[in-house]
DNA sequence: AGCCAAATGTACATCGATGTAAAAACGAGC
DNA sequence: GCTCGTTTTTACATCGATGTACATTTGGCT
């Protein structure tokens, strides 16, 4: 009645345990007849391999961890979906772990959850310092996404500086001159926020617009309430922006809400643009222009790179043999595009026809996406 | 250089392997001195237990699976966060698995991913049939959340029928008479959608309003595009609702967008109410009234129940001894409340003051929640 | 001092699957 | 029929941690 073991299969099939193992693992030299007999026995007993035994023997689990700050931030959730799909293709299981942007949690993830039961880690760090990355000794292969911390670790992301430059340039091209940056940071760190802020400044410089440090509105975290609060406070303090560059879509959606509450029209008075292209931005009122990273590509590139690292780790434990070209840390850049929607374009809204709605709508369907300006 | 084993710790500490194991597992009869020596050795070597070995020996992994249809549906993401937090308290790790509402994936999850490497499963099924639940033989302990499939399985959810009745009654109380149900289903299944539809009909009946089957708008899935499409189509076909009961917030948010595009004012012309209380509904324009399940409670109750089942499974493999009271399937109901926001209340918006925003805002801050009508 | 019970530590087998090395079976060629 | 070279199969050790059963030490008491 208990779960059958390989031993039970062997007994039923009248062969040794190893032969059963050979059949399971598609070992070459097994006669067709034996293979069939064993298969039948497996079928009859409903046998399935026990991962614990295999793991102990082989030292691998087939599980990789995806470590992200918050599950309920749509960008991470959407990314997670892609990573899971991608991993499934290589029959890897993804263990999703949230760190709540907590350094200890991220550290734990880096070293494989205090035990080697994941074969690799894809980590989106928020609170780690470059130092943390250095003193990991026996950590599993790791690929970072999103934040660029420093040389020394594999990393996949879009060109954040360039993307921010393009987005800002677009706002300037619309005639906007007073662009606030929600979530902007002036320090010279390696984080995404800093890179995007640099891009913003580059665009200003290119257009010959003076940079005002007060245009950077810091936020506690990158969620809707923070965006709303930052904008509300800025307006209350007398800011008169004609555009907002929000460093992610959550901030932008919060900002849209705050602008609405303050009676500021978007995009007529203030244009708004975000980052990430989350689904909610396609249905907000107004719909949200945004920098769209190719999430599928981020996931694919990250998983591919991680797999290479895992193979290396497994293949040559006594390192050195493999070509330095692959072993040296990779910093891979993924494509992004600028998706323009109502929050920057000012698509005319259907005038209110009393309660009637018989006429065909003029506004675009929300799912309709502007082709966008693709980067290299 | 390789990862240290228990053997290495034992050698360094000058004790047997078992003693090290005893220290690690807080066995009672270990002298303080020995304990300290072993602890120091562990510290010095940076030893950490290997899960594979422990798992093989104990037959447990300390991992539970949370199986949900889609990670990027905010409700599931928010729920997942709570489940992870709750599990962390009992030092359980959560493996999140998405099924894409695919029956095969859900089945695989039910039987523990083709191997016994998770100790338990919390499953939010969408495509499973009651039959599937019956023929699972050696599946790990399982708790269902959300959908009520049938007797025979542990289950945690809000009282969906009652919640829908309350929500509908509230709409009727606002004077609305033509309430459409986005995502409504008239069949007599055990799903959430059916339960909510029954609640809707009950409320109509109670108010003496005739039920029109055409008021149920079926959807392909429960996401924003589906909500938008359903509403757009209904309006185009001549429907003249004065309220929408959307069976989740995603549908409602899509509906809000569609109504906006059609020039229909919310809530003046059409009141809208959703289910789930996702964060986006607190920042939409207008903000979204919704049935708010106590997600923290759902997570807590589900994890607690699962732990009981896991203990039972571990304690008495040859069942029978434990009291039937606990072993019989539980069907636990969690509290919900009705959160009223702009989409039903019609809070006055600040009139557009040109570009000025100097005056204090009148609208409530988005995070401000109406206390709500709590159920039992 | 002498004894007994409780406290503490150890050797060894075990969980399940698989790599290793070697035995057994098979087939071809003379 | 016998040898040699392959193919197929097997016995056994192994991965790392821990339960079992027993050995040893400790301490309290008479």
Q: Give the CA distances from residue A339 to residues A12, A74, A294, A299, in Å, rounded to whole numbers and listed in that order.
A: 62, 17, 12, 20
Domain at B160-293+337-346, CATH homologous superfamily = Response regulator (3.40.50.2300)
A221: exposed, middle or buried (C-beta count within 10 Å: 0-12, 13-18, 19+)?
A: middle
In the predicted model, is pLDDT for residue A348 greater than 50?
Answer: no
For residues B346-350, average pLDDT = 48
Confidence of residue B127 (pLDDT cuts 50, 70, 90): low
- Taking only residues 67 to 86 of chain B, the set having a beta carbon closer than 8 angstroms to any beta carbon of chain A reads 70-72, 74, 77-78, 80-81, 84
Q: What is the pLDDT of residue A253?
A: 98
Task: Using alpha carbons only, give the angle A267, A255, A205 rounded to the nearest 5 degrees.
Answer: 70
Q: What is the mean pLDDT of chain A?
A: 84
Which pLDDT value is given to residue A146?
A: 86
DSSP conformation letters of B238-266: T---SEEEESSHHHHHHHHHHHHHTT--T
Is the model more confident about A96 or about B173?
B173
Regarding beta strands B289-293 and B336-339, do their DSSP bridges make them parallel or antiparallel, or are they unpaired? Answer: antiparallel
Nearest-angstrom CA–CA distance, B165 and B371: 19
Of the listed ranges A65-69, A178-182, B74-78, the least confidently predicted one is A65-69
Question: What ranges in A92-218 are assigned the alpha helix state H?
Answer: 103-110, 130-134, 160-173, 192-207
Residue B327 has a pLDDT of 67
Residue-wise pLDDT tens digits, B304-338? 999 998 888 765 444 444 444 456 888 999 999 99
* pTM over 0.95, yes/no: no
A179 prior amide bond cis, ω within 30: no
CA distance B222 to chain A (A): 14
pLDDT digits (tens, 9 = 90+) for A251-308: 999 999 999 999 999 999 999 999 999 999 999 999 999 999 999 999 999 999 999 9
Cβ of B93 and A95 within 8 Å? yes
CB A339 within 8 A of CB A277: yes
Cα dihedral: A130, A131, A133, A139 (round 10): -170
Residue A113: predicted pLDDT:
60
Q: What is the pLDDT of residue A231?
A: 98
Q: What pLDDT sits at residue A259?
A: 98
Is residue B146 scored above 90 in pLDDT?
Answer: no
pLDDT at A362: 35
What mean pLDDT is predicted for residues A103-108? 72
Report d(CA A123, CA B275) in Å as an integer. Answer: 33
The answer to whether residues B157 and B148 touch, using CB atoms and an 8 Å cutoff, is: yes
Using the Cβ of A352 and the Cβ atoms of chain B, whether some distance falls under 8 Å is answered with yes
Question: In which region does residue B101 sit, left (phi positive, over 0), alpha (psi from -120 to 50) or beta (all else)?
Answer: left
Q: Find, in chain B, the residue whose alpha carbon is nearest to that of A2.
A: B138
Q: In which band, very low, low, confident or very high, does the pLDDT at B239 lie, cut at 50, 70 and 90? A: very high
Q: What is the pLDDT of residue B163?
A: 97
Residues of B in contact with A53 (CB under 8 A): 56
Q: Do A81 and B98 touch (CB under 8 A)?
A: yes
The arithmetic mean of pLDDT across residues A13-26, rounded, is 91
Better pLDDT: A129 or A236: A236
Residue B149: predicted pLDDT: 67
Which sequence spans correspond to the domains of chain B? Answer: 57-158+295-315, 160-293+337-346
Identify protein residues whose C-beta is within 7 angstroms of any atom in strand D: A 14-19, 22, 28-31, 33-34, 56-57, 59; B 3, 5-7, 17-18, 20-21, 24-25, 49-50, 52-54, 56-58
- Whether A350 has a pLDDT exceeding 50, the answer reads no
Average pLDDT over residues B93-115: 71
Q: Which residues of chain B lie closer than 8 angstroms to A138, CB-CB?
A: 2-3, 46
Determine what percent of chain B is predicted with pLDDT higher than 70: 81
Report the residue from B78, B235, B357 with minimal CB separation from A262. Answer: B357
* CA gap B132, B104 in Å, rounded: 10
Residue B114 has pLDDT above 80, yes or no: no
- Asked whether the beta carbons of residue A95 and residue B98 sit closer than 8 angstroms, the reply is no
Say yes or no for a CB contact (<8 Å) between A81 and B61: no
Mean pLDDT for A210-214 is 96
Identify the top-confidence range among A26-35, B71-80, B113-122, B192-201: B192-201
What is the predicted pLDDT for the residue at A207?
97
Contact assignment for A236 to B366 by CB distance below 8 Å: no
Tens of pLDDT, residue by residue over A106-136, are 776 666 565 567 888 898 887 666 666 666 6
Residue A67: band (very low, low, confident or very high) from pLDDT cuts 50, 70, 90: confident
Say if CB B338 and CB B292 are below 8 A apart: yes
Strand C, nucleotides < 7 Å from a protein CB: these are 7-12, 14-20
* Distance from CA(B282) to C1'(D17), angstroms, rounded: 50
pLDDT tens for residues B163-213?
Answer: 999 999 999 999 999 999 999 999 988 889 999 999 999 999 999 999 999
Q: Rounded to whole angstroms, how far apart are CA atoms A93 and A107?
A: 21
Q: Are the beta carbons of B293 and B82 closer than 8 angstroms?
A: no
What is the model's pLDDT at position B340?
96
The answer to whether A290 touches A253, Cβ cutoff 8 Å, is no
Give residue B128's pLDDT band: very low, low, confident or very high (50, 70, 90).
low
Q: Which residues of B touch A224 (CB under 8 A)?
A: 279-280, 282-283, 366
The per-residue pLDDT for B224 is 97
- Residue A321 confidence (pLDDT): 41
From residue B362, give the alpha-carbon distance in Å to each of A156, A284, B341: 45, 22, 15
Question: Residue A371: which pLDDT band, with cuts at 50, 70 and 90?
Answer: very low
Q: Which residues of B touch A220 (CB under 8 A)?
A: none
Average pLDDT over residues A74-98: 88
Q: What is the spatial distance, in angstroms and rounded to an integer, between the CA atom of B53 and the C1' atom of C13?
A: 15
Q: What is the mean pLDDT of residues A221-226?
A: 95
Residue A18 above 70 pLDDT? Answer: yes
Higher pLDDT: B158 or B105? It is B158
Average pLDDT, chain B: 84
Nearest to B52 among A3, A56, A262 (CB): A56
Q: What is the CATH number of domain A57-158+295-315?
A: 3.40.50.2300
Residue A14 to residue B152: CA distance in whole angstroms: 39
Residues B261-271: pLDDT tens digits? Answer: 999 999 999 99
């Amino acid at each position: 009645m208990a779960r059958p073991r390989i031993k039970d299969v062997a007994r039923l099939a009248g062969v040794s345990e190893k032969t059963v193992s050979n059949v399971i693992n598609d070992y070459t030299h097994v006669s067709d007849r034996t293979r069939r007999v064993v298969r039948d026995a497996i079928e009859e007993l409903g046998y399935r391999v026990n991962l614990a035994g295999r793991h102990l023997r082989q030292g691998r689990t087939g599980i990789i961890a995806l470590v992200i700050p918050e599950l309920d931030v749509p960008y991470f959730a959407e990314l997670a979906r892609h990573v899971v799909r991608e991993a499934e293709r290589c029959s890897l299981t993804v263990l999703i772990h949230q760190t709540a942007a907590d350094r200890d949690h991220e550290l734990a993830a880096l070293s494989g959850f205090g035990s080697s039961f994941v074969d690799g880690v894809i980590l989106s760090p928020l609170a780690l310092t470059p130092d943390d990355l250095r003193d990991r000794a026996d950590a599993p292969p790791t690929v970072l996404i999103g934040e660029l911390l420093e040389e020394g670790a594999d990393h996949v992301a879009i060109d954040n500086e360039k993307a921010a430059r393009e987005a800002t340039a677009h706002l300037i091209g619309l005639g906007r001159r007073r662009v606030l940056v929600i979530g902007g940071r002036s320090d010279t760190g390696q984080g995404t926020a800093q890179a995007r802020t640099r891009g913003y400044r580059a665009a200003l410089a290119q257009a010959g617009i003076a940079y005002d440090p007060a245009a950077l509105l810091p936020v506690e975290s990158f969620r809707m309430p923070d965006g709303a609060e930052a904008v509300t406070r800025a307006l209350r303090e007398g800011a008169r922006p004609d555009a907002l560059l929000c460093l992610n879509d959550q901030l932008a959606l919060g900002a849209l809400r705050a602008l609405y509450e303050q009676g500021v029209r978007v995009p007529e008075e203030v244009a708004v643009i975000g980052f990430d292209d989350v689904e909610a931005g396609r249905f907000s009122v107004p719909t949200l222009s945004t920098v769209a990273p190719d999430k599928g590509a981020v996931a694919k590139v990250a998983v591919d790179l991680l797999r290479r690292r895992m193979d290396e780790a497994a293949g040559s434990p006594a390192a050195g043999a493999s070509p330095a070209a692959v072993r040296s840390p990779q910093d891979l850049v993924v494509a992004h595009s600028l998706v323009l929607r109502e929050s920057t374009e000012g698509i005319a809204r259907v005038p209110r026809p009393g309660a009637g709605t018989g006429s065909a709508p003029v506004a675009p369907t929300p799912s309709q996406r502007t082709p966008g300006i693709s980067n290299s």
